[in-house]
Amino acid sequence: MAAPDAKLAGASDKHARDRAIMVTRHLAARGISDPLVIAAMGKVAREAFVPEGLKEFAYEDSALPIEAGQTISQPYIVARMIELLELQPTDTVLEVGAGSGYAAAVLSRIASKVYSIERHEELATEARARLKRLGYANAEIIFADGTTGSPEKAPFDAILVSAGGPKVPEPLKQQLAIGGRLVIPVGRDVHQTLLLVRRIDEDSFEEEDHGGVSFVPLIGAEGWVEPGKAKQETAIDAEASGFANGLLMPARRAKAIRTELSHLIAEAAEPFGDLDELTSLAERFAHKRVVLLGEATHGTAEFYDARAAITAMLVARHGFNIVAVEADWPDAAVYDAYVRGLPRPKVPQAAFTRFPTWMWRNGEVADFLKRLKAINEGIGDPERKCGFYGLDVYSLGASIEAVLLYLDKVDASAARIARERYGCLAPWRSDPVRYGRMALSRGYAVCEKPVADALLDLLRKRLDYHFKDGEAFFSAEQNARIVTAAEQYYRVMYYGDAVSWNLRDQHMFDTLERLLAHRGPSSKAVVWAHNSHIGDAEFTEMGQVRGEHNIGQLARGRFGEEAALIGFGTDRGTVAAASDWDGPMEIKRVRTARDDSYEGSSRDSGIPAFFLETGPGQKEHIRSALAEPLLERAIGVIYRPETELLSHYFQAELSRQFDAWIWFAETKAVAARADAHPHGPDETYPFGL
């Protein structure tokens, strides 16, 4: 096997950690065990084989589009097929369907010689130049019809076919060496079958079925007829099958599945015409201890208004006394003071002025706060008034300031010690991401012990402080916990998405539990957060592939049937979002949802707005249909329509992910302004919109 070119190794270094995560999370964790395959996948720089604009997605476990309307297969399926070939370093390999050249590059890190055939001249030329530039000297790209193989290069110890054919091409079987292996997808229905063919002797072959897969069609003399070159009736049949457009799922079958699911949704959905009707539908969950309300975007007015209406009902009629939101604790405390008639905290000076301002500084939130304040004014007992709390972990600077301000009032000596300890973080308070980079480069957690000690000091004096002012101490303790969690969060964010995600969601759930304990044994909470935090991650790609958990999963584990998880969806409209982190707010057009998504099926039900129970209260055949893994859309504070499939869709099992699904076919952006500081003096908020 040829050694990788030094130039290639240098180009790969930037993404070495991404490849290591890919190998661990997407390959080894899913059963790929051949050490030669693992090593090869860990060496090849996948980002060099995808278009420039898609490099950030190179190590996601998904297929990506390339030139000529083709795709580069997802890493797992590449590894799975190569592992089935049982390659040895002395083997000669034929690949059919070179595409970008990625699989050929991986094969070349194991086998002695690789011949890869590509029928698209554009792809063949680019793949040939790419492999030469990257130093894969033992891989050769051939422009030809791959279904007939390469007789002049035969026999081959292994043949890999990266497209689905109507049958195993006879020329490829005949070009196998005795004992050779051929891996190919075969079929034309929803799922093709992945076959492993072994040549036993001159005339004998064995086949093994390795499950369902979906590939673009194998076009050629021994494969499917190329669109446009067949007889009219054949072309019509190919078009109807979906292969004429290179779809992964035949169009006729995809439409049938979509139609069946949309009909089931229409059968089970409960339409509503206004928010009063929606509130009545959602009231079936009022007996729960915790009701978690999601959103499919962070900038859609209908989601905020629907959550506000449901929450107001739960507070006014069913004794819910906690609204806990995906927001920073110190900023939310300003809103809490307003709705409960408490003195306004001195920290922060202005609430929710950092990116993304539109999440909590918008007209819909302002209207909800006024409504919640009015409800609270009708509740005589201060202990029963509903509070507004932040669950998140990002408020490092404001939380430090709040802790010190509290200690200055109750214990000047402790305040001096805390200032010394928090001084470790002083250089990074305005930009805590820099602390994470520094801790990573130095190789140790500079501030971990000082901030932990500050929290421990506060907890040791819990009884004394709590006796003076229990509410103030609880807030100070929470801010100290946030500093500790934030130090960890910014330090581990460079170690992989799952690590930082899990720390953040665990912190948010722990905060929710502390709030419930603090507000008393009869306390009940409504949680507002994105669907990705609210839906049970165990039944999504987040948990099954990326190893992430979330608030919804933790709530089900802790509260069982006392927790209700409600998701939201939309098909089209406008949304407030940015193009990049810390970028300006824009009003963006939301693309119509993909047909192969739950949103697509919800749209095709033909109901403009509905409430769909998906939990145990639903009919079993409906729940079963809604448990079929499909795509689901998630738009956060960033929305990139140009890469929507890669940026904003993930696989989920709806009826296991949520207990109910609230649908608005068309939605609009929240009422917020795009400039960085859209409001007047902070004391006028929420009236100064």
pLDDT digits 0-9 by tens, 247-300? 333 343 344 444 689 999 999 999 999 999 999 999 999 999 999 999 999 999
For residue 180, pLDDT over 90 is answered with yes
Residue 443's SS3 state is coil
Q: How far is CA 371 from CA 330, 357, 670, in A?
A: 21, 21, 18
**Cα–Cα dist 679/109, whole Å:** 59
Neighbours of 575 (CB within 10 A): 24
- In our burial notation (b when 16+ CB lie closer than 10 A, e otherwise), range 201-229 reads eeeeeeeeeeeebbbbbbbbebbbbbbee
Q: Measured between alpha carbons, how far is 180 from 161 in angstroms, rounded to an integer?
A: 14
Of 187 and 326, the structure prediction assigns the larger pLDDT to 326
Mean pLDDT of 209-227: 83
Per-residue CA distances from 238 to 159, 163, 190, 250, 339 (Å): 27, 16, 14, 9, 63
Count of alpha carbons within 13 Å of 40, Cβ hemisphere only?
Answer: 29
Task: Return mean pLDDT, the chain.
Answer: 85
- CATH code, residues 6-224: 3.40.50.150
Residue 168: exposure state from Cβ atoms within 10 A (0-12, 13-18, ≥19): middle
Which has more pLDDT, 3 or 72? Answer: 72
Residue 463 in tokens? 């009884």
Name the H helices within 114-230.
121-134, 170-174
Of residues 64 and 577, more confidence is placed in 577
Read off the pLDDT band of 436 (50, 70, 90).
Answer: low
Q: Is the peptide bond before 89 cis (omega within 30 degrees of 0)?
A: no
Report the range out of 408-412, 456-460, 651-655 with the highest average pLDDT.
Answer: 651-655
pLDDT surpassing 70 at residue 309:
yes
Q: Is the pLDDT of residue 409 over 60?
A: yes
Q: With contact defined as beta carbons under 8 Å apart, do 364 and 301 qualify? A: yes
Residue 675 binned pLDDT confidence (cut-offs 50, 70, 90): low
679 or 458, which is more confident? 458
Task: Tell me the pLDDT band of 582, cut-offs 50, 70 and 90.
Answer: confident
Check 62, 73, 475, 602 and give the catalytic one.
73
Instruction: Choose the weakest-confidence range: 50-64, 246-260, 523-537.
Output: 246-260
Cβ partners under 8 Å of residue 496, min gap 6: 21
Contact, 664 vs 570, CB < 8 A?
A: yes
Looking at residue 228, its pLDDT comes to 53
Q: Classify residue 371 as exposed, middle or buried by CB count within 10 Å of its CB (0-12, 13-18, 19+).
A: middle
Active site residue 262: no
Q: Report pLDDT digits (tens) over 86-144.
A: 999 999 999 999 999 999 999 999 999 999 999 999 999 999 999 999 999 999 999 99
Q: What is the mean pLDDT of residues 221-241?
A: 53
Q: What is the mean pLDDT of residues 536-565?
A: 94
Lowest mean pLDDT among 1-15, 144-158, 364-378, 594-608: 1-15
Q: Is 19 exposed, middle or buried (0-12, 13-18, 19+ CB in 10 A)?
A: buried
**More confident site: 199 or 490:** 199
Residue 581: band (very low, low, confident or very high) from pLDDT cuts 50, 70, 90? confident
**Vertex 614, ends 609 and 615: CA angle to 5°?**
145
Structure tokens at 35: 């050490």
pLDDT higher at 616 or 675: 616
Residue predicted with more confidence, 405 or 53: 405
> What confidence category does residue 191 fall into, taking pLDDT thresholds of 50, 70 and 90?
low
Confidence (pLDDT) at 12: 44
Structure confidence at residue 434 (pLDDT): 61
Which H or E run includes 277? helix 275-282
Query: Which of the pair, 446 or 442, is modelled with greater confidence?
Result: 446
**Lowest-confidence segment of 23-37, 274-288, 645-659 by average pLDDT:** 23-37
Tell me: pLDDT of 678 over 70. Answer: no
> Is residue 633 a contact partner of residue 599, using CB atoms and an 8 Å limit?
yes
Q: Which residue has the higher pLDDT, 296 or 596?
A: 296
DSSP for 241-255 reads: HTGGGT-SS-HHHHH
The yes-or-no verdict on residue 603 having pLDDT over 50 is yes
Residue 89 CB: number of other CB atoms within 10 A? 10
Alpha-carbon torsion 386, 387, 388, 392, what sign? negative
**So what's the pLDDT on residue 440?**
52
User: What torsion, rounded to 10 degrees, do the Cα atoms 186, 262, 293, 399 define?
Assistant: 40
pTM: 0.68
With a CB cutoff of 8 Å and minimum separation 6, the contacts of 275 are 305, 306, 309
6 pLDDT more than 50: no
